Amino acid sequence: MTVDSIPMTASGEREKASAPVWQIRVGTRLSRAAAIAGLAVVVVLALLPMIASRNLIQDLIFVFTMLALAQLWNVLAGWGGLVSVGQQAFVGLGAYALFAGVVVVGIDPVVAILLAGAVAAVAAAVLGPLLFRLEGPYFAIGSWVAAEALRLICAQFKSLGGGTGMSISPSELSQMTGLKAVQALFGLRAGAARDILIYWLALLLVVLVTLSIYAFVRSRMGLALAASRDNALAARSVGVRTGRIRYFLWVVVAFATGMVGALVYLQKARISPDAAFSVTDWTAYVIFIVVIGGVRTIEGPMIGVLTLWLLISYLSQFGSLYLVVLGTVAILIMLFMPRGIWGETARHWNVRLFPTQRVLSRNS
Amino acid sequence: MTALLSVSALDAFYGDFQALFGIDFELQQGEAVAVIGANGAGKSTLLKSLAGLVRNRPDAIRFAGREIGDSPAANIVRFGLALVPEGRQLFPSLTVEENLLIGAYGGERTSPWDLQAVYRMFPVLQERRRSAVTVLSGGQQQMVAIGRGLMSNPSVLLCDEISLGLAPIVVEDIYRMLPRIRGNGTAIVVVEQDIARALRSTDRFYCLQEGRVTLAGRPADTDQDAIRTAYFGT
Amino acid sequence: MNGFDTIIEGVLLGGVYALFALGLSLIFGIMRLVNLAHGDLILLAAYLVLSVTTVLGVPLAASSLLIVVVMFGAGFALQRLVLERVLGDDILPPLLVTFGLSIVIQNGLLLGYGADSRRLQAGAFESSSVTLLPGLSIGLAPLAALLTAVAAVALLQLIFYRTSLGRAFRATADSPPIAQLMGINERNVYAIAVGLSVAVSVIAAITFGIRANFDPSIGPARLLYAFEAVIIGGLGSLWGTLAGGIVLGLAQTIGARINPEWQILAGHLTFLAVLMVRPRGLFPSRRP
């Protein structure tokens, strides 16, 4: 059978031919069902503030922001091949940029979130070329050094609280876009209303992040990176510009991470260098989420973040012990279930909710 | 007489790809046997299977009465079977002398092949004993590779394409040493694309084509046409 | 004289950093593994020595020797039981496993020993000094740290270049399958390498624990200094790592002299500068 007797068409199109037609499909019935279910979940979550307690709202802000960070780390490490142990650099930088913007300059906090992302992106753009000179595992530690350097630099700014940190006063936050509307809508005081507003922003952010990542992975760039991961030399020989795509990914991930950092600390309204640049909070937990759920899957971190939420809720009363448990579980999973909970399940049942593989299927 | 090394119904796989199909092969003590065949016929795969780099059923390969088909490579050299790998594969971080010394790491015997014996056979290596192996000529590197294999004092030396990339004069020099190696009690298996040279230096030969033995016998008893047919498969 | 003091101090500090870095350099050179728990293992060693000296009353020197042996075994076991399973082409699993290990050790130490600062007691040794020149006296402990670093590098070089084991290390680093053809059991080679790396770290822990307070949370910082020393010095060369440690020590000390708050930052910035200007390090090996 010669090549030209197999007409190839993109999914959705149909060509009239007497020979069987091969299609490249990405969606599956299950994934389409999942997409509808996902939409329903998002709608429910959006409406949740009407009935949820403030505690739940705050917990969910944690869940949304951690999920976003995990998805971002996952795409950077799993697809980009950039295993960074220093993403807290961008969390902290974004948070500090927000505080600087709101307290020092007086910008609207919501606008400041975008500013925070931009600042983080610029830092990534500058640090990238430097850090990329380090290979694999050394890049990981190098990113950690960069984060530490940024922490120490931020601690030098007395106007931002120096080593001990600072708070944003409620009056500085009162001008936040949308705050008055939310207050009126729910009849709440500023503090609770602010939490709801941030909750919605966090939900929006995590949905955007997840969908963008999904789109990226399915795009040509995502395919290119996956090919590079499998065989860098072969990929280069067909023209894949891995370096450029990686750099782009690194900067965009930093942008989003910066925004998440800003959002988190906007809600806390209090910042310190040690907290904003904490390896445990912004890298250890994130890695745990990804590992438990499943590296290189989009569904995985969702499972991971729920597991983390459960573990923290029940075990944090035991102090450092729960971190020991977390670490041990992560090690055991990497040793015995390296694909993570979702990864193993998906493989076993052949399930994909966010299908990323292109499947050649016959349609005759 | 039981063969020193015998292979029965050997299948070898690289992942899902099958490279060898039911190979039968035998080597007697002190013999020299050639394995010839075109590129991709499976000659190197056969040697790698013997050396333990490709795993197999335990009973597929018997050496000195022991089943070694699934033994790890590090054990096999201890049993007395050494491989001179295709492309030399010397250690770039080690000098000439160190490459030879590392050959003795896994050997159980220290004679007759020790550093002095190898230097006697290849005097040029003694001159360059402290130099990095990367600056040696191809022929000299091949000498180091062979010497390295001998340092473990094997009963069987497997030579994978030792003439590859070398000038004919150099190849001549190296092949002239084979009788000396045999004379010291080591049986040899030579894998070659150069048919004439292989058949001149050995007692028996096997011809492989696409993973199967298509012809086996003594060079003297076999005619050119039969060999050509077995080699190319037309 | 003030400037000279700073230099001396920096070089001596560099000796400690070099000791931190040697273990890291070793296992990366042989097995291309970066152990993110490296710093925490150093702390673990320090705490074990602390326990043996205070609880069991064994003198420092004997405790040190004991813990060196114990930690060699621990490193060996770590490689054979855990790390061996995840070593491979994918860099993610070993990084994640050693990161998890780092978290476990840190918090395990926190649970076991609490967060208070501790110190190893070395008696008179801690505070005695030796006078080199009129007006210039150096603390004996820091000097001993530097000399130990030099001795450690010399010893490791000896092992690498003059012993059969060292040849096996280098051959395995070049090509594990061909090393197997030589009869080298790569699993044991790797395990010995990790054991050696951890054992060297014990020496680092002791030199460090004598002169400074330590608590469970400072492990990661040790990892970062070790890493900076390796990169500044250049991959593939143990003497380079020693030099890198000294450069780092100097950078930090000079930074501290300008402003005490800038000590660590000066080190990080120096690292980033070296990365920018000399990505292969100051003294990289000439390996092909």
Work out the average pLDDT over C213-232: 93
Contact B73 C287 (CB under 8 A): no
Q: What residues of chain C have any CB closer than 8 angstroms to a CB in chain A?
A: 28, 32-34, 36, 82, 85-86, 91-97, 99-104, 106-108, 110-111, 220, 223-224, 227-228, 231, 261, 264-265, 268-269, 271-272, 275-276, 279
For residue C61, the model assigns a pLDDT of: 87
Question: Mean pLDDT, 10 residues at a time, over chain B (234 residues)?
Answer: 86 88 91 90 91 91 91 92 93 95 86 90 92 92 94 94 89 90 92 87 90 88 81 74
pLDDT exceeds 60 at position C171: yes
Give the Cα separation of C86 and C173 in Å (integer): 17
Taking the CA atoms of A107, A110, A111 and A112 in sequence, report the sign of the dihedral they define: positive
Give the Cα separation of C132 and A362 in Å (integer): 85
Q: How confident is the model at residue A101 (pLDDT cuts 50, 70, 90)?
A: very high
Chain A residues with CB under 8 Å of C107 CB are: 320-321, 323-324, 327
User: CB-CB: which of C177, C186, C288 is closest to B53?
Assistant: C177
Strand C129-133 relative to strand B212-217, pairing: unpaired
Under 8 Å between Cβ of B227 and B206: no
Say which residues have a Cβ less than 8 Å from residue B229's Cβ, sequence separation at least 6. B214, B215
Q: How far is CA A162 from CA A273, C217, C266, in A?
A: 8, 21, 17
Tokens of A191: 């503090």
Tokens of A101: 């913007």
Return the percentage of chain A with pLDDT > 90, whole number. Answer: 48
Tokens of A322: 């729960």
Distance from CA of C179 to the nearest CA of B (A): 8
Taking the CA atoms of B132, B133, B135 and B139 in sequence, report the sign of the dihedral they define: positive
Burial A326-346 (b: 16+ CB within 10 A, else e): bbebbbebbbeebbbbbbebb
| CB atoms near residue A319 (< 10 Å) | 12
Give the Cα separation of A147 and C264 in Å (integer): 13
For residue C109, the model assigns a pLDDT of: 95
Strand partners, B185: none
Give the Cα separation of A346 and A293 in Å (integer): 11
Q: How confident is the model at residue A23 (pLDDT cuts 50, 70, 90)?
A: low
B1-22: pLDDT as tens digits: 678 999 999 999 888 888 999 9
Give the Cα separation of B133 and B143 in Å (integer): 11
A154-204: pLDDT as tens digits: 999 988 888 888 998 888 787 788 888 888 888 888 888 889 999 999 999
Chain C residues with CB under 8 Å of B77 CB are: 181-183
For residue A25, the model assigns a pLDDT of: 62
Lowest mean pLDDT, pick from A26-30, C108-112, C126-130, C203-207 = A26-30
Tokens of A172: 């500085």
A316-360: pLDDT as tens digits: 788 788 889 989 999 999 999 888 888 888 888 777 777 766 666
Chain B residues with CB under 8 Å of C173 CB are: 93
Mutation for A interface: C103, C110, C116, C248, most A CBs within 10 A = C103
State chain C's mean pLDDT as an integer. 90
For residue A4, the model assigns a pLDDT of: 43
pLDDT exceeds 80 at position A19: no
Give the Cα separation of A198 and A62 in Å (integer): 11
Chain C residues with CB under 8 Å of A284 CB are: 99, 103
Contact C171 B51 (CB under 8 A): no
Give the three-class secondary structure for A240.
Answer: coil
Strand B204-209 relative to strand B32-37, pairing: parallel
Task: Tell me which residue has tokens 């900076």.
Answer: C228
CA atoms within 13 A on the CB side of B38: 11
Tell me the DSSP string of chain C.
Answer: -HHHHHHHHHHHHHHHHHHHHHHHHHHHHHH----TTHHHHHHHHHHHHHHHHHTS---HHHHHHHHHHHHHHHHHHIIIIIIHHH-SS-SHHHHHHHHHHHHHHHHHHHHHH-SS-B----THHHH-EEEEETTEEEEHHHHHHHHHHHHHHHHHHHHHHHSHHHHHHHHHHH-HHHHHHTT--HHHHHHHHHHHHHHHHHHHHHHHHHHS-B-GGGHHHHHHHHHHHHHHH-TT-HHHHHHHHHHHHHHHHHHHHH-GGGHHHHHHHHHHHHHHH-TT-SS-----
pLDDT exceeds 70 at position A26: no
Tell me the DSSP string of A15-83.
Answer: ---SSPEEEEE---HHHHHHHHHHHHHHHHHHHGGGT--HHHHHHHHHHHHHHHHHHHHHIIIIIT---
Chain C residue nearest residue B106, CA to CA: C183
pLDDT exceeds 50 at position A14: no
Tokens of B116: 């002095």
Chain C residues with CB under 8 Å of B106 CB are: 182-184
Largest CA distance in chain B: 50
Chain B residues with CB under 8 Å of C180 CB are: 52-53, 72-74
Task: Tell me which residue has tokens 């923290």.
Answer: A312
pLDDT exceeds 50 at position A5: no
Q: Which amino acid is at B175?
A: Y
Q: What total of structural domains would you count in chain B?
A: 1
pLDDT exceeds 70 at position A229: yes
pLDDT exceeds 90 at position C265: yes
For residue A12, the model assigns a pLDDT of: 38
pLDDT exceeds 60 at position C256: yes
pLDDT exceeds 90 at position A105: no
* ipTM for this model: 0.90
Work out the average pLDDT over A252-272: 95
- Please name the helix (run of DSSP H) or strand (run of DSSP E) that holds residue A184, with its range, or none: helix A179-186
Chain B residues with CB under 8 Å of C163 CB are: none
Work out the average pLDDT over C156-161: 93
Chain B residues with CB under 8 Å of C181 CB are: 51, 53, 73-74, 77, 82-83, 85
Q: What residues of chain B have any CB closer than 8 angstroms to a CB in chain C?
A: 51-53, 72-75, 77-78, 82-83, 85, 89, 91-94, 98, 101-103, 105-107, 134, 148, 152
State yes or no: chains C and A have 3 or more CB pairs below 8 A: yes
Task: Give the global pTM.
Answer: 0.86
pLDDT exceeds 50 at position A7: no
Nearest in space to A195 (alpha carbons), one of A208, A178, A207 = A178
B31-44: pLDDT as tens digits: 999 999 888 888 99
Contact B105 C167 (CB under 8 A): yes
User: CB-CB: which of C171, C177, C185 is closest to B102?
Assistant: C171
Lowest mean pLDDT, pick from A331-340, C2-11, C237-246 = C2-11
State chain A's mean pLDDT as an integer. 86
For residue B150, the model assigns a pLDDT of: 94
Give the Cα separation of A27 and A10 in Å (integer): 12
Under 8 Å between Cβ of B40 and B70: no
Strand B5-14 relative to strand B17-27, pairing: antiparallel
Work out the average pLDDT over C74-89: 92
pLDDT exceeds 70 at position C112: yes
User: CB-CB: which of C99, C223, C227 is closest to A287?
Assistant: C99
Mutation for C interface: A73, A87, A152, most C CBs within 10 A = A152
Tell me the DSSP string of chain B.
Answer: ---SEEEEEEEEEETTEEEEEEEEEEE-TT-EEEEEE-TTSSHHHHHHHHHTSS---GGGEEETTEE-TT--HHHHHHHTEEEE-TT----TTSBHHHHHHHHTTT-S---S-SHHHHHHH-HHHHHTTTSBGGGS-HHHHHHHHHHHHHTT--SEEEEE-TTTT--HHHHHHHHTTHHHHHHTT-EEEEEES-HHHHHHH-SEEEEEETTEEEEEE-TTTS-HHHHHHHHH--
* Domain range for B117: 5-232
Lowest mean pLDDT, pick from A188-197, A302-311, A352-361, C226-235 = A352-361
pLDDT exceeds 90 at position C47: yes
Give the Cα separation of C214 and C113 in Å (integer): 11
Q: How far is CA A232 from CA A186, A314, B23, in A?
A: 54, 44, 36
pLDDT exceeds 70 at position A234: yes
For residue C120, the model assigns a pLDDT of: 86
The CATH number given to whatever domain includes residue B127 is 3.40.50.300
Task: Give chains near C: 3+ CB pairs under 8 A.
Answer: A, B
Return the percentage of chain C with pLDDT > 90, whole number. Answer: 66
pLDDT exceeds 50 at position C103: yes
